[in-house]
Structure 1
């Protein structure tokens, strides 16, 4: 489905598979250009971004010519000012819009793509507050996701007041200039500059770009499944996960060898199915006013974890893997900082000194991923200190803190490299695993991402949610986050069970942990986190009732192994995500397009997690099909229903026609 360009009576029309994508005339131009200077104020990963705009002109005039290759070249200008040549063509069966001939130093573009009033739009990376993006604009800049993320809440007010960290609905670790329209096409901007995608106007979508991009890529399809296949064929797909990950939960524990083993043994005695022990403090800890932090010197801390090398071997013999933690920075106190600094592997400031970033009461240097030698050095840190040491996985944290005034080895503007940085961090981790020939045995998970993360990262997690029930930053928010990433081409997602951020009096409750565990049993990975203030939070082993509930949900998760493995393989082979919006398989159901707190797990399971405190009866919408309630066996045909949801029985349904119906039925007998 290539682009068709028509020029008739002063109106330029561009169609994609019969869909009008661009309509340009003097009275309704599709392209504006100008000059601006971005202003970026970063404080501990939180950014205030503004533009000092110098000029903006509608490029109403155009001249069309066709090239020998079949491309159509159009030069747009305003009475000869700011001329910009745009090439409409096809590359590798994809429609491509390229921007060439920028002789005036234009660094701002506004592009208007034709829209319909009832159109739905999804994607833009990982969006926590809104799944359907229509009616809002989304600035795309990787940063901390914010605490609260809703300017009308008291928590967000306090976070803004104390640390400029409250955030807003569009703040995200993983932005991406990609959207999928309900008109069944996708548009991807191939660039990493700051952008703002605005879907508020009834007749057009406006893309504001703080650069002249290399190209826009567009494809259309007859179904969403086919469309996601095309998008992921372009962006890349995640590999299948190692087999061991499905054999139980990954318990997030800290405190040293004795503490970790004691917690593990108690959990196992209570029936918890465990496939991994995730100890993020394997390399040491520090304490700050924010809470418990890590030392950021990526090597086994023998004092805190004596005998860990031997214990890892013993755990593996029991079918339990050990996972750790790393990020792209090295703390100034550690030997890795000194080693990297001496070799010139750290990014610099404008005086040629190592650029130090304040991460909250401690400083760290930035490993410069634009320096090939620095990348090889850091990959060797991962290979030697983590993989060969015996780790089977790790949290590859951060990636979104790159300051815009840093000086990089390759000479590129840090303003332009900022969004690309998380994908470069993903690539380094992936190459370390592949070069050790461990992709079928070792995995890593990340919170930050951008275009390219699909190709390199093996698993995303939702980052640092509040330990509360808030829609914008609590349990509920991880569902639209997973679905938005799914529609951005990334199909593997999970979250910290119970959330992470504990501030301003927030404390994880027993009920929140139990409900979050129920949700996570119906995701690709079950993993806990103690949070930044573990002593303030209810943990999986805080009492026997919680641990028994968690153990039961772990058995539900492990029983689903063959189904989950098949769904993950489908994602690897075709790009169809594991957690899916309802309309992916029920395209004619208009209600399905506005549902963001329910999802399909694979083709045959529908989950509607409990996201409200104290809720014991839940309203669920079922697309037209024959659905069987997982816990009672009652059959429903679709529509709005009310279903009981006591603790331990989250609203989950399966299709009666599923090949896995007998497996799902067996879950009712799990004690």
Structure 2
């Protein structure tokens, strides 16, 4: 526990940004060849390369020699389309470099400060200066006066990071996560600079300790490195969406997860035995609460040894897994990196004999204490060790397990000063040895990569799912992320919103928090409110700690149980909508849970919003995150918005007061949106959407001009990797609406997956009056008659036009209002 001793008057807390440094200049010379240009200065040198048209790599080193030969790339996936030639031009004061596209790097000869401009000379941000000194490197970049800073991965605090300071150093933080905490489990060193709709990103690909300081200087950010090269990638916009697309082009995008991993998941530290797990699953089914996965925390193992089951408490795990699968529930076991030192333990013996564990400089194994006691740790920088680790999941795969939970992989080590591996541990790094101090933030990513690729090899074409606590830039390629050991505090519920939005800006689309909070104990009110919010999180998992109150949805009485059931069920009805945005994330890198600024970059009211978010493009979610609260203010951006529950219409561009009693989560739907739904279900099956309703939210009769909207529905089997070979469907749903008519339809863009669907239901909401004409369809006398025919019926009470169509490949109609 920290006490006032930390601030004693004679103490000295020195920040790295206080250490003496000198700018790299003045200019000494330039040399360009084979797509590389080295600019040499008295105190350091720059290496400039065009990676893509809108991504420029500007690497800094104290000595020119450090930039010779191939440079390491940790998260960056560099272009294989050949070196992009660089043209060098020079004036008395400036060097001009141009490469791919219309970007130019202008370098000042005095101090080697630089800026990136477009063809018109418009700067991508302001000037940056690299500094060297006292065995470390630093970058100082100008922030424009009205800029917001986004990104920086998993950080506490509000959405805008200007005025804050964070350290990229993966840390096991069990202390309550508070605003001044500078390091958590994930280190994603990408800073997004946004000003009045114009944005760029600066990504530092260095897995050692890095500090981002937006506090010391109000007009600059300072980036300070502990080890290694200042390997920076300038990622152009101009919009926030462009930045995210380009950044994930550089660091990678996720694959489609299995559909079951998008369902509701239940966890606890720990469910202690086989019968407790089975009874838990039976209770979900008996109570009609959807659930797709149950997690096993460390108590399922024998003496906490990885890849084992305690046969006293779990006597027949294969039978348990099969019985759960019949109920539509998957098992996700925890796997930590620490391997117990035990000469009777085959995993330890085999790894030690093959030399696959992390070693000190003298070649001896690094030993550290974690759950099983003194342990060794696989060296995931070594391809042989990574493959060995992946193959150790064979028993899980043969039991029917397709999901793995990676924890403690910062790596966390007990009872030592660093709380992680000794910094002088030497990683093999595929023949290029590197210290743990310089490679630390890669450890969790290396573990998740080894796990994901191992499960891919073992699952015979089934999609694996990996959830990780620790990671680095690019982790999205291998794992979903949860935000670690939060607490059952209202403040922690609120904190997840800006944290997840900034993870989205940092390339991580598949993320979530422990619903209800992990440590402390939830109240029924908190669980209800958090479940409402969690139903609209990409990862939807309830998790609680040992010795806290159990917080399954039924633990706090009938009212809370009903609320949890309703919102979890709503998530399942919206799976066609959610799954389409997962597909978009695989293609573009854009997040599923997103800041309003991402969709409305020209609206200053969205720039600082930390307590509401968009779920996809068309659903605005405004959670209640304070106890005893039934009202809140919601900002609606420009356009028409409908209250999801009441249908009340609102004109955007303003704040409104919303009434939200305990059973109500404020949800608003964008006018003009197409929201696909499927039927209620207790678990996921496939993503063929045999039961499909397309809801169109009409803009009404006050339109001054015609408005077009569309939604692209995505289908596949939800479980295999066959979609990568073309086994999927894409259906474009479109609408064009004017004051007196609506043209609505859908067309099949691509068909490669066979599924059965007898009909499609279309619901036009908020039409206002019964239409005068619906082309090509007969009017039914009642909703009941419509069930037996293709046609339409107008529900005057709900102001909804309901259409039933047997055709599901191509169809359209004109509706005269």
Q: TM-score range by the shorter chain?
A: 0.7 to 0.9
Q: Deviations over 1:202-247 (max 9, x none)?
A: 4332221223426311121232222211111111011112123345
Would you say 1:477 and 2:495 are equivalent positions? yes
Aligned to 2:648: 634
Counterpart of 1:175 in structure 2 is 187
> 1:551: how far off?
1.7
Confirm whether residue 455 of structure 1 aligns to residue 473 of structure 2.
Answer: no
| C-alpha contact 1:479 1:597 (8 A) present in aligned 2 | yes
Distance 1:350 1:97, change over 3 A: closer
- For residues 298-309 of structure 1, the aligned pairs below 5 Å read 298-309=307-318
Counterpart secondary structure, 1:148: coil
Q: CA deviation at 1:52?
A: 12
Instruction: Report how far residue 518 of structure 1 moved.
Output: 0.8
Tell me, yes or no, if the aligned pair for 2:476 and 2:510 is still in contact at 8 Å.
Answer: no
Which is greater in Rg? 2
In structure 2, do the counterparts of structure 1 residues 327 and 60 end up closer, same or farther at CA, with 3 Å as the change threshold? same
**Correspondence 1:123-202 to 2 at 5 A:** 123-150=151-178, 168-182=180-194, 183-200=198-215, 201-202=217-218
Q: Which residue of 2 aligns with 1:74?
A: 39
Q: CA RMSD in A?
A: 2.9
Structure 2 counterpart SS, 1:594: coil
* Conserved 8 A contact 2:289-2:569: yes
Q: Equivalent residue for 1:243?
A: 259
Report the CA distance between 1:572 and its aligned residue.
0.6
Question: Within the alignment, does 1:264 sit opposite 2:264 as a pair?
Answer: no
1:297–1:335 Cα contact (<8 Å) kept: no
Gaps (5+ residues) in structure 1? 1-47, 78-82, 152-167, 287-294
- Which deviates more, 616-625 or 67-76? 67-76
SS in 2 for 1:418: helix
Residue 405 of structure 1 corresponds to: 424
1:285-329, Cα deviation, whole Å (9 max, x unpaired): 77xxxxxxxx14222322211222112123223322222111211
Asked if the contact 2:143/2:219 (under 8 Å) is kept, the reply is yes
- Alpha-carbon separation, structure 1, partners of 2:404 and 2:447: 13
Distance 2:427 2:182 in 1: 28
Q: Specify which structure has the higher proportion of helix.
A: 1
- Counting only pairs closer than 5 Å after superposition, residues 424-435 of structure 1 correspond to structure 2 as 424-435=446-457
Give secondary structure in 2 for the equivalent of 1:272.
Answer: coil
Taking the aligned partners of 2:346 and 2:30, their CA distance within structure 1 comes to: 61
Q: Confirm or deny: 8 A CA contact 1:530 1:539 kept in the other structure.
A: no
Structure 1 residue 123, shift from structure 2 partner: 0.9
Residues of 2 paired with 1:54 and 1:642: CA distance?
A: 50
> Is structure 2 residue 139 aligned with structure 1 residue 118?
no
The range that moved more, 525-534 or 426-435, is 525-534
The two structures have a TM-score, normalised by structure 1, of 0.81
- Is contact 1:282-1:325 (8 Å) kept? no
Name the counterpart of 2:443.
421
Which segments of 5 or more consecutive residues in structure 2 lack a partner in the other structure? 1-12, 67-131, 412-419, 677-693, 698-762, 767-797, 799-817
Distance 2:637 2:19 in 1: 51
Give the C-alpha shift of residue 181 in structure 1: 1.1
Q: Does 1:316 align with 2:315?
A: no
The CA deviation string for residues 323-366 of structure 1, in whole angstroms up to 9 with x for no partner, is: 21112112346553344334433223456443222337933321
User: How many pairs does the alignment contain?
Assistant: 583
Distance in 1 between the 2:459 and 2:285 partners? Answer: 31
Secondary structure of the 2:434 match is coil
Tell me, in whole angstroms, the C-alpha distance in 1 between the residues paired with 2:460 and 2:605: 44
Correspondence for 2:790: none
Q: By how many angstroms is 1:120 displaced? A: 0.8
Secondary structure at the counterpart of residue 255 of structure 1 = coil
Q: 1:226 aligns with which of 223, 242, 249?
A: 242
Counterpart Cα distance in 2 of 1:521 and 1:532: 24
Higher relative contact order (CA 8 A, sep 6+): 1
Map of 1:157 onto structure 2 = none
Alignment of 1:243-642 (within 5 A): 243-250=259-266, 252=268, 254-281=271-298, 283-284=300-301, 295-332=304-341, 335-349=346-360, 352-359=363-370, 362-382=373-393, 384-401=394-411, 402-403=420-421, 404-410=423-429, 411-437=433-459, 440-457=462-479, 459-470=480-491, 474-502=492-520, 507-534=521-548, 536-545=549-558, 546-638=560-652, 639-642=654-657
Q: 1:251 to 1:270 in 2, by over 3 A?
A: farther
Query: How high is the TM-score relative to the length of structure 2?
Result: 0.67
Contact 1:113–1:205 under 8 Å retained in 2: yes
